Amino acid sequence: MAESTSTQPGQPPNIYLDPSYQTPERVKDLLSRMTLTEKIGQMRNPAQAIPHLNIPAYDFWSEALHGVARNGRATVFPQAIGMAATWDPALIQKVASAVGDEARAKYHEALRRKGSTAIYQGLTMWSPNINIFRDPRWGRGQETWGEDPFLTGEMGSAYVRGLQGDDPKYLKTAACAKHFAVHSGPEKLRHTFNAKVSLRDLNATYLPAFKKLVTEANVEAVMGAYNRTNDEPCCGSSFLLVKTLRGDWAFQGHVVSDCGALTDFHAGHKVTNDAVESAALALKAGCDLSCICTYDRLGEAIDRGLITEADIDRSLERTLTTRFKLGMFDPPADVPYTNIPLSVVNSTEHRQLAYEAAVKSIVLLKNKNNILPIREETRKILLVGPNAASIDVLLGNYYGLNDSLTTLMQGIVARVPEGVEMEYRPGCPLTQPSELKDWSLVMAPGADVTIACMGLSPLLEGEEGDASMSEDQGDRKEITLPAVQTEYLRKLALSGAKVVLVLTGGSPIALGDLEDLMEAIVYVWYPGQEGGKAAAAVLFGDVVPSGKLPLTFPKSLDQLPPFEDYSMTGRTYRYATEEPLYPFGFGLSYTHFDYSDLALDKSTVRAGESLSIHFTLTNTGSTEAEEVAQIYLSDLEASTIVPLHSLIGFQRVHLKSGARTDITFTITPEMMQMVDDAGERILEHGEFRVTVGGCSPSERGVQLGASAPVSTRFTVVE
């Protein structure tokens, strides 16, 4: 392998260590002092130390999906899909800021103790996951912000801003938008799969959230996906990385591969002959950093004439720039985040934030005869279910750990008033059939309320290699409850028990006839360390549920296209025509909200003009509570396939009983645009419908108790 160095004679010494110089000058100075071998040593996630330049080893691989992950103690917030159910970007930014504080504190403590950091101990956080959760079978859907590109963009942007901070010079941590792009299962095929997608679906559904994080939230990094998209491996895609990311969106940060993804070029996708060709293809396309594999072969790629040292320099400039923006080459006193104390980790303030996020994530799906909140006159409660005492269902995947994890059982037991009789029985296993006699079926009819903690577990759904009880390498073959749980719940209800079903999970669950048999249904997701406390607060009425579904719950797999089909036809609330079990945006309350007086400032607008809408939201119930008001737009005269409804805005509103508020919202020309068959955003004239309510437009939502939406129309003219 050729060896070279590009040190320039007469260059001032140590510019890279002098904060008075601009970052590009410092990066170029540092590059000029490296040999080719040293440069190549920086091109994978475990970047090697360069002792003569006083550069310690650094591993870029750290995780922060819903808290600092895989690095010991940390505050565990609700899984991302649960945080999406809060529909509260301001809260999510606070959560991410707390996560960034903990990452900083742990990073600097590791440096002080050991003089270096290891994998998962860094400041380059490979989060958030903003892939579209297009199919409930995907085990990693729990990591996402749901099925809607607008909601995903809003919540993902808030998470990025919180992680990265607001200092004009330094990043608190570096966030990473992943997995770019068109990536949402199947897990077992991800190393070979070719996602075929139309330019219309690509630009209407799969790319908007990435664009928003890049162009508005200024995310520092983007991670490429394992799969191919329209025949090109994502981590070496000219269309995705060169034309779209660097070209159309002018992305200035760095691109990292998913872990082992470059090996898939030759081993899975068969688009190259060996690791050297794979490394060259990825580097030339603008993948700046390889996780784990192939970039140790870049020297051979130079010797073969596939790349040049200038190609390495271009990518290395980008990753080094990130490290400079993190303050890694500056005196600690100059960097505002270096003195964050280790005491922030799982602090009282962060635990309270985790509790607030968990409370606001909980979605009330059913409440027959207002059985919830549990009444004061209740004298006997039976708690059952395999997930009642489970730590796993608090954590989801990509999680941290601490000694303050509150299970559902612990939270409920801590809240039950003295004098109320309460017993616990597991009831049934998570998945395994059981023929044993279960006394809980005898006890339940005598209880005023039976709280059944059932549902999914990270053991059943997750990433390839993580969900050890999944029959499909992390994905779900069925979207119903495990059969043993369904059978048990049916027996429980038919015995005469009044069952409040508390469901855990990271994806939709089809309930079939169980939906009719339950008195109440509460979805708590994978709620994090304060999950038990939050669930108890909702069940006993200390707080009013206000979470809204960030994705559609189908009635069955019969309503879905094949898993491998990436066309959006028939998927999500935007394109599906069949009535779901629970619609996108749905979630009940202990009070009732009315939407009224929807009005436009004009009924006709010229193309390019904005339009103001006004409506009134009233809490007509007897309980102070929060509501998420949602605004949807429908293009009624489009020249091609467009969404039936598109979320264009939402607002979380707190109202006392009987109070009302007037809400004003501006519909911009960009919101009126459609994506044509060529993938271009255009604005056509014609009629549009605006709908506001507490759920996506759905007859099913109203049947289930959601507030009746109100709508009106306007026309765009040339």
Q: Can you read off the two tokens belonging to residue 12? A: 């001032």
Q: Across the strands, what pairs with 631?
A: 649, 692
Dist CA 402 CA 530 (whole Å): 11
Contact at 8 Å (CB) between 684 and 638?
A: yes
Q: Give the Cα-Cα-Cα angle 443, 444, 446 (nearest 5 degrees).
A: 75
Contact at 8 Å (CB) between 96 and 161?
A: yes
Of 63, 461, 472, 627, which residue is the catalytic one?
461
Of 258, 463, 626, 627, which residue is the catalytic one?
258
Contact at 8 Å (CB) between 543 and 513?
A: no
Interhelix angle for 89-114 vs 149-164, to 10°? 40
Residue among 304, 254, 314 nearest 278 (CA): 304
Which stretches of 416-505 are DSSP H helices? 440-443, 483-494
Please give the single-letter amino acid code of residue 646.
S
Dist CA 91 CA 96 (whole Å): 9
DSSP H helix total and E strand total for the chain: 21, 24
> Dihedral of the CA atoms 507, 508, 509, 513 (nearest 10)?
170
Dist CA 288 CA 257 (whole Å): 8
**Which residues, 6 or more positions from 536, have their beta carbon under 8 angstroms from its beta carbon?**
408, 411, 412, 414, 415, 542
Q: Can you read off the two tokens belonging to residue 702? A: 């109203």
Q: Across the strands, what pairs with 662?
A: 616
Is there a catalytic annotation at residue 258?
yes
Dist CA 415 CA 532 (whole Å): 10
Please give the single-letter amino acid code of residue 160.
V
Main-chain dihedrals φ then ψ at residue 548, nearest 5 degrees: -130, 140
Q: Across the strands, what pairs with 606?
A: 717
Determine how β-strand 194-195 pairs with β-strand 681-682: unpaired
Is there a catalytic annotation at residue 461?
yes
Main-chain dihedrals φ then ψ at residue 522, nearest 5 degrees: -125, 125
**CB-CB neighbours of 622 under 10 Å:** 11
Dist CA 352 CA 547 (whole Å): 18
**Cis omega before residue 373 (within 30°)?**
yes
460 Cα distance to chain centroid? 19
Residue among 98, 73, 71 nearest 83 (CA): 98
**CB-CB neighbours of 382 under 10 Å:** 25
| CA terminus-to-terminus distance, the chain | 63
Dist CA 104 CA 109 (whole Å): 8
Determine how β-strand 176-180 pairs with β-strand 228-229: unpaired
DSSP state of 326: T
Sheet holding 421-425, edge to edge: 363-367, 520-523, 499-504, 449-455, 380-384, 421-425
Residue among 79, 81, 65 nearest 549 (CA): 81
Dist CA 244 CA 217 (whole Å): 17
Dist CA 303 CA 603 (whole Å): 67
Active site residues: 258, 461
